Structure 1
């Protein structure tokens, strides 16, 4: 991965003829999860920063008068693993104006740097998709209900937020992805729906796994299209549980995996498998973000908890970083670099902002 990042930086520099601190345009690589810098660029060599183990992928940025700069980005390691829980004092801000040979460090305290709630621009939706075919209903329904409730408790915020919502679907052998609970920010509503599942909910004992994958991806795609507009950014997670393989044969494995692999990069895919009848390779391909397996129903809650942690980490690795710039009206476009340092790992990204209308003070 480090080699890939080096190559990306080299090709980027050649294509734009970047000299010290004078990149012409930002690159828009679309919202992604650790495979690029988003709207950012590699930091200028004049900063003398070593190649880091962390990747800051800028998703959006904007300015607010009288002088606030807001950068929305995701932090991951070079393997794409999310890095949640960072604090404002772990970031260093560098600015470069037209009269500067290189960048100047901006004091975090004097600029009132902060990590702000990102709910104003970021929407995160989770789809929990449960296999309720006959084998589950007969042998592991109670364990699945307990594990699913635990998943909801772990993923959903303690206080309801419209920016974090979840819907629950289920499938059997029918050519339909059944809705158990529509998209909601209420964990209580979701858990009530889970507790209401009975062993006679299904009338088709077969398993349409590939159909569930295709249909849930389509739903997640529609959610992304609705929530990503204007100044809003949306991300989604699809979490699929099954205790077996596709038996309905209504859709092919290739069609399901094609749907996953060609899905919007804003969508993460997770899979949970139970028992000895699953095809672990297929579930790993479906859950391309992460997959876990339980050998028996007693381990089911632990596997759901493991996935819930990964889903939460991914959602919480997005940051809205804001500070008050010392640049003023008339300074035009200025280069900006943000470095994060956890004490053991470091990373940085560069972008630019326009200071037109900037005056003293900051809200």
Structure 2
């Protein structure tokens, strides 16, 4: 049975840029915030929870008789950075029935609250897009291959899992996004494809960066449509590496940025720039979730590692939270609030559920 929900979108447009790396600031990391509250709304003021530094974005919610409530959501901070590694003890449940002036706290132990494996309802796809134009092949291919291998090892789980999949594409100046490795959950297949890259894979000196952005977005959108069927929830990450600006001039900057801006909210965008010929401003717009810039090829390992950490955090910031409600059949529609605390930060979200058919004996 589905919850009755309200949709309220709260967008964050705060921009924050930080610099990290060696003393010369060779590597620069940019946080590009964004996101939605998702299903639900801000919590009632009667709870007096105060300002929230964390955002709970509900993706889906449903009930299972005799009385279990399941909520699938993503946790991030107000700058859009995903928050992973949370456990059930960090969540507090509040319910408000028709006779309650405000919310009542529900005991986690009595309600058997838990974070459950989300493998049955969640798919996460990563699309890695590499610039293999002549400038990369001639000057930084081996460093790029090494960094890409580290990226795959960091993002993909140690044991192959159907939940986490990745596809690898490459581009040069041609009006085509070339497939290097089709979507797969087998890590070794991805590693083999990267190891097999040679300098003669392309002889094109041009760069169709904007075309790569547009085409990779289409691929990510298609993957989301295919993975959000039969009650499943999907998320995707697009990671684009380049060492220059768009030279092909086949597509416009505005078309590429518009494609990213209007993409499905469950697609995260990351960009990696190398060298002095990149346009950091444009790459920050393309990598709207997070962007990294390195001045030389020796920094590629560091930059790819930072991005891989972000992609992993993104995938692991989705939670399936379940608990057994004390509400019973006949109580009608009830308000539900969930609060999460992580160190000195907290956040909460409010929604509704109907207890029709609820009885005792919830698992």
Q: 1:230: how far off?
A: 4.5
Distance 2:162 2:9 in 1: 27
Q: Quote the residue 1:247 is aligned against.
A: 247
After superposition, residues 188-207 of structure 1 pair within 5 angstroms as 188-207=188-207
Q: How does 1:344-359 map to 2 (within 5 A)?
A: 344-359=344-359
Please say if residues 34 and 77 of structure 1, whose CA atoms lie closer than 8 Å, have aligned partners that are also in contact. Answer: no
Change in Cα spacing, 1:30 to 1:61, as seen in structure 2 (3 Å) is farther
* CA distance in structure 1 between the partners assigned to 2:343 and 2:297 by the alignment: 41
Shift of 1:228: 2.4
Map 1:13-52 → 2, pairs under 5 A: 26-27=6-7, 29=9, 35-52=35-52
Consecutive unaligned residues in structure 1, runs of 5 or more: 1-23
Contact 1:31 1:265 in 2 (8 A): no
Q: What are the within-5 Å matches in structure 2 for residues 79-98 of structure 1?
A: 79-98=79-98
> Is contact 1:34-1:75 (8 Å) kept?
no
Partner residue, 1:4: none
Map 1:112-131 onto structure 2 (within 5 A).
112-131=112-131
Greater mean alpha carbon deviation, residues 266-275 or residues 223-232: 223-232
Q: CA RMSD in A?
A: 1.9
**1:238-264 deviation per Cα after TM superposition (whole angstroms, max 9, x unaligned):** 101111111222222222112112212
Work out whether residues 244 and 278 of structure 2, in 8 Å CA contact, stay in contact via their aligned partners in 1: yes
Distance in 1, Cα, partners of 2:37 & 2:242: 35
Flag as ranges the 4+ runs of structure 1 deviating above 3 A: 28-36
> Which residue number corresponds to residue 223 of structure 2?
223
Conserved 8 A contact 1:34-1:55: no
More helix by share: 1
Structure 2 partner of 1:257: 257
Q: Secondary structure at the match of 1:120?
A: coil
Cα pair distance change 1:350/1:80, threshold 3 Å: same
Deviation sequence 1:95-136 (CA, Å, 0-9, x none): 112222221111101111111112222211110000111111
User: How much has 1:149 moved relative to structure 2?
Assistant: 0.6
Aligned residue in 2 for 1:155: 155
* Cα distance in 2 between the residues matched to 1:251 and 1:165: 29
> Structure 2: any 5+ residue segments left out of the alignment?
13-32
